[in-house]
Chain A
Amino acid sequence: MRALIVIAVVAALALGTLFWVSGADRLVLAWAMEGQRTAQTGMAGALRALRAGDPAAVIPLLAVCFAYGFFHAAGPGHGKLLIGGYGAARTVGAMRLSVVALASSLAQGVTAIALVAAGFWLLGWSRERMTDTAERLLQPAGFAAIALIGLWLVWRGARAFLAERAAARHEHGHHHHDRSCSGCGHAHAPDPAAVAGAAGWRELSALVAAVAVRPCTGALFLLVLTAQMGVFVWGVAGTIAMALGTAAVTIAVALAAVGLRRGVVAGLSDGAERIARLQPALEIGVGVAVAWIAGGLALATL
């Protein structure tokens, strides 16, 4: 019963945070939309100058692309769902998650670059065909990947939870806080450090891939335009600038999520045992939330 309450509270907390960090606030929305419009106009101006043969226009182009990425990420976006959810659920350092946020933004840019390069030169696709592919195929794929990571969190949490229950039954009469047990060969109780253990690189690359699978429309616009204009290299540079702008927001979300998780854990725990008990609940709660939202989105976009 207590575990259920903890799960409910944590899930509610995590959901609330996700909505908050994802910018469901009216002011943020208005500001992001207005900013995007302004950035879009600036991008067009720089591209026109570039097209007319003014190499100096590259500087404003990159600046405007960065701004576009920033505003785009400040509005609705799914990278934040995953990075924020993950940071809230798993023991992962702020630095490490920030690197993941940056890497996934850059990888997302690379996906757009690869899609347009292949579509434009190898396949001879039209702009509509490329945005269509991004929309119909990569979008649901991206959400499905995120839902899977949510389920992975649930599975991890459930496994640790069950292991702990089983261990508790075995442990009558034993010393309860025996942390050295993990070294005793056949550990019954999960070592808190292992349960809450730092996220491995495999898990983190899955995060990056899940975000990266789905390129953003703004980058596709820019890349197709520059490919047609014969200045694709500047489109690539602009896309990277956009990714850095996006990363600025997702890194902020990552820091907020890690901070929140630490706050919850520190506020509720008075020892390693508590952490061991809370960590699975945290993972299950956030995992369910992430899988539920992303799964629904994957189905809706199919």
Chain B
Amino acid sequence: MTAVPPNGTTPLARREARLAWGLLAPTLTSVALVVVLPLLAIFWISFKPIGLADLRPPAPILRESVLGAGEDLRVEYRLRNSSQDKQVTGVILSDILPEGVALRGDLPAVCTLQGRDLSCDIGTLEGGYNERIIIPLAAEDADRTEALAEASLPNVTGKSDSILTNTTFTLDNFARIFNGAEFWGVLGVTLFYTVFGTVGALGVGLFAALLLNKSFRGQGILRGLYLFPYVAPIIAVAFSWLILFDPFSGSANALLVQMGVTEGAINFFGDRPLALIMVTVFEIWRYFPLSFLFILARMQSIDSDMYEAADMDGASPFQKFWYLSLPQLLGILSVLFLLRFIWTFNKFDDIFLLTGGNAGTRTLTVNVYEQAFAVSNIGAGAAVAVVIFLCLLSFSVFFFKFMSREEGL
């Protein structure tokens, strides 16, 4: 009898797969909690009429105070609805009466006392409404009572209808963000920023890589220096740029005036077409090191035989670059283009810090923040986020189609 290779899954393979999933479990759980769950939430919220103020659901707020002394001693509970217009239902108050205290007279109708456990069923609390419950007490020692009453915190529960979890849905958010010229303006700005930022960073990075693609003393230092813009914290470099280009006391303006380029100060980050150009230049400045690094790594792995052969055939330096280097770099350039395109599209902090989205620099990502926090309309912000996510999905379909051909980044 000849040996037959096993078919189907063998126990060993199953054990391996089980181990693999076990090893991946922590990653999967955390990613599901912090990425997938918020993504689902953002889809949910984008269909909700919700503002910043609705984040706290209406709740009953309670204050307890001990008033009077001797014959007049009483505990007063004051209940207030935190919301002005929404009701809270099924409000129940519970507290523990301290030792050495007895009930004096009758309990209010809504309350019951079992042993020392006090429980009051208040029912519905309308929006903006107050409720007051007074429990008359008799105590052996008034001072001690007060301390004791304040030691045991009363507890209050109530149900309210949170807009986040109910089933009211609306398309208003989408109608609102797609409405009018504003959205197309934002989209146009995003595309300008993304396309020019990406292409510019690639071009400048290619230039820098060509410069450093030879060994000389100090090459390592220069390479380290050229990475500075990328490694420094965004907030530090963004503020440096703002101070450098400040219209009133910025050095750049002083320099330009001194050189006779301009008469008055230029408001680099405040004037309409210029601000967008400046944030794009900033993007190029900050991210050229990244493309530079990747292109340089690829360049150094190109076989030098080819160049020697070209030298023998009398090729000039530009011909060598155009016919030999560039085709070799095309793969990494296109992968970098796609990656950088997606990440520039997603970029938020740079523009947020430089202009706050003013002066015609509001991109889609800045619009999320603008809608959610400046206009306080969380639903509209979420709707913009959904639009961004859908764009991203379509980019990444394209990216993976391409990546499978250009594997080897």
Task: Tell me if chain B binds chain A.
Answer: no
Which residues of B approach A to under 8 Å, CB–CB? none
Which residues of A approach B to under 8 Å, CB–CB? none
